[in-house]
């Protein structure tokens, strides 16, 4: 048998093929123009070789299309719309816009008050480009707003007829702690500052950010974090000076750590102001950096942790976060390592620890040692939400006890492969980003301060006869002791707050539903949280109503 020679049946100058779709009776071929134009093309090929082109008026920048059993063409495009052509020869189509992110892609999220921000880009395992144009998105007041290079001109580069310098692979986001500014980091083209309707791109031309060594066309932003003084710290991957800071005053400064590591990405800042970075290098796992005084380069310190000088079992460090006690939790390809060194992080005796947890019948193992850790989040009760390729593990503050393990089998998780977790400290909502999108789990912990709020809140209050759910007591000091009594002073229930919130199920210590009446709340702060001050106290009142 001889192979048939290929035959060119159709070509379109200035366009490239985006997709082929054969779900219906026609072969659909989608085209994108090769310059920065805002229209694509759709051509349908019948089995007899005839072809028909859909109206240009219905074309956005196409991603994919399918033909249903009735001959209707459903198209998805970069403008975040579904377009439907009832017939190929129709001039116009019906548009459907959905309240959702642009795609199911998640890399990093950030939350502030009632705002969620999502970075949808990322990199592959070797820190090479994905060339994702999914951009970033915000979720505010129940509405998603999507920003991509196709609908946001400031994400387009300076080359008018070329998208090679467009801002893609958005992989990190940071929210200013005291104003509404948002910072978006692209692994491809620098840092964007969003201030309302104003946008500012920072790159090698107007800041201390550097292009990547060996890839001088790219300004790789791989991590962002604010310190307590509202300075924004930036991981500038593979730059000659891989650490930059944008001060509260708007001034830029860069650093070249003495430890010589430039492959920095995700970072956290501990209670001492030390900056902890993950490294994408196989020879450098974790870096801690102390800038000292910003205007004095002589007091900078840097240390590299590897398998040779720490409890790291692999140099593949994926995530790092500081908890409410100032301890630094590090997620690796082989479990979790905790650095509880405080101000002694640069001492050679600071090696980190691996928690030994009981598995069964007194047998111990290291904490999550067989899990590939992708992210660690801390809730208001200092519990750890650990994302892995096998779902989410919720751990006690010390990590010694596993409180929950969420998977697709026992929870609404869309996928067991977890990419990021962020927790709203004011509401306790845990946003979990998976390889199939985002879901929200409501936790029972919110942030609490050293002292109680002036007025503690109880919800619901009054407790109606038809309600038999949790009763939340909010505004408490962190981990406060809470007692609930009847008006005669008899103890009904006692518990300890999870962060700044305690939960009562409306039952007494024997599990019986309490009778109608007024119940008093007495709360006292944890002496450990009070420091040198006196413990803080608070009182409240709960009205319970039942049908007589």
Same domain, 168 and 210: yes
Same domain, 269 and 229: no
- CA-nearest of 63, 66, 62 to 85 is 66
Separation CA 96–CA 85 (nearest Å): 12
Same domain, 310 and 396: no
Same domain, 104 and 230: yes
Please tell me what DSSP assigns to residue 56: G
Same domain, 224 and 328: no
With a cut of 50, which residues of the chain have pLDDT below it? 1
Same domain, 384 and 413: yes
Q: Report pLDDT digits (tens) over 201-228.
A: 999 999 999 999 999 999 999 999 999 9
- Alpha-carbon separation of residue 308 from 130, 246, 348, 403 (angstroms): 32, 34, 12, 32
Q: Report pLDDT digits (tens) over 27-75.
A: 999 988 876 666 788 899 998 888 888 877 777 778 899 999 998 999 8
pLDDT of res. 386: 98
Same domain, 92 and 108: no
Residue that finishes a domain, picked among 68, 97, 126: 97
For residue 42, the domain's CATH number is 2.40.10
What is this structure's pTM?
0.89
Parallel, antiparallel, or unpaired: how do β-strands 373-378 and 384-388 relate? antiparallel
Same domain, 50 and 184: no
pLDDT of res. 55: 76
Give 417: exposed, middle or buried? Use CB within 10 Å, 0-12, 13-18, 19+: middle
pLDDT of res. 324: 96
Same domain, 142 and 167: yes
pLDDT of res. 362: 65
Contacts of 299 (CB under 8 A, 6+ apart): 290, 292, 293
For residue 492, the domain's CATH number is 2.60.40.4070
For residue 434, the domain's CATH number is 2.40.10.500
Q: How many helices (H) and strands (E) does the chain have?
A: 1, 43
Residue that finishes a domain, picked among 36, 66, 97: 97
Contact (Cβ atoms closer than 8 angstroms) between residue 60 and residue 73: no
> Quick check: is 6 in a domain?
no
pLDDT of res. 4: 57
* Domain of residue 394, residue span: 371-447
Give 100: exposed, middle or buried? Use CB within 10 Å, 0-12, 13-18, 19+: middle
Same domain, 408 and 419: yes
Contact (Cβ atoms closer than 8 angstroms) between residue 378 and residue 399: no
């Amino acid at each position: 048998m001889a192979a048939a020679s290929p035959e060119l049946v159709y070509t379109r100058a200035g366009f490239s093929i985006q997709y082929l779709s054969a779900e219906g009776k026609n072969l659909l071929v989608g085209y994108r123009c090769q310059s920065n134009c805002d229209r694509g093309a759709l051509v349908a090929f019948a089995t007899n070789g005839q072809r028909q082109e859909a109206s240009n008026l219905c074309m956005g920048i196409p991603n994919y299309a399918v033909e249903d059993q009735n001959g209707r063409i459903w198209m998805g495009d970069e403008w975040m719309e579904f377009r439907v052509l009832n017939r190929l020869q129709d001039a116009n189509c019906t548009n459907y816009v959905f309240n959702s992110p642009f795609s199911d892609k998640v890399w990093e999220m950030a939350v502030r008050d009632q705002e969620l921000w999502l970075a949808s880009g990322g990199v592959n395992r070797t820190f090479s480009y994905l060339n994702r144009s999914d951009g970033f998105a915000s979720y505010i007041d129940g509405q998603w707003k999507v920003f991509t290079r196709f609908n946001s001109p400031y994400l387009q580069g300076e080359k008018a007829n070329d998208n090679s310098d467009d801002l893609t692979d958005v992989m990190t986001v940071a929210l200013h702690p005291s104003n509404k500014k948002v910072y978006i980091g692209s692994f491809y083209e620098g840092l964007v500052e969003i201030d309302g309707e104003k946008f500012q791109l920072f790159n090698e031309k107007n800041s201390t950010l550097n292009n990547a060594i060996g890839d001088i066309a790219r300004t790789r932003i791989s991590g962002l974090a604010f310190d307590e003084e509202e300075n924004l710290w930036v991981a500038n991957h593979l730059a000659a000076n891989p650490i930059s800071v944008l001060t509260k005053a708007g001034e830029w400064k860069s650093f070249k750590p003495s430890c010589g590591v430039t492959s920095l990405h995700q970072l956290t800042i501990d209670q001492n102001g030390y900056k902890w970075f993950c490294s994408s290098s196989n020879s450098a796992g974790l870096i801690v950096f102390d800038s000292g005084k910003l205007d004095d380069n002589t007091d900078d310190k840097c240390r590299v942790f590897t398998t040779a000088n720490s409890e790291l079992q692999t140099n593949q460090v994926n995530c790092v976060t500081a908890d409410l006690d100032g301890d630094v939790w590090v997620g690796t390809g082989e479990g979790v390592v905790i650095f509880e060194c405080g101000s002694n992080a640069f001492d050679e005796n600071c090696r980190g620890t691996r928690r030994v947890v009981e598995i069964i019948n007194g047998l111990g193992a290291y904490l999550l040692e067989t899990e590939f850790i992708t992210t660690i989040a801390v809730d208001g009760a200092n519990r750890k939400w650990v994302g892995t390729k096998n779902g989410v593990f919720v751990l006690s503050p010390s990590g010694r006890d596993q409180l929950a393990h969420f998977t697709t089998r026992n929870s609404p998780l869309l996928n067991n492969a977890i990419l990021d977790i962020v927790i709203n400290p004011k509401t306790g909502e845990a946003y979990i980003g998976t390889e199939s999108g985002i879901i929200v789990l409501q936790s029972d912990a919110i942030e609490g301060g050293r002292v109680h709020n002036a007025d503690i809140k109880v919800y619901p209050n009054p407790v109606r006869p038809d309600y038999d759910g949790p009763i939340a007591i909010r505004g408490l000091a962190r981990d406060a002791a809470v007692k609930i009594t009847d008006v005669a002073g008899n103890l009904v229930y006692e518990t300890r707050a999870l962060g700044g919130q305690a939960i009562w199920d409306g039952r007494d210590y024997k599990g019986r539903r309490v009778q109608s009446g007024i119940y008093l709340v007495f709360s006292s702060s944890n002496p450990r949280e009070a420091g040198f001050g006196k413990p803080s106290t608070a009182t409240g009142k709960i009205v319970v109503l039942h049908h007589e």
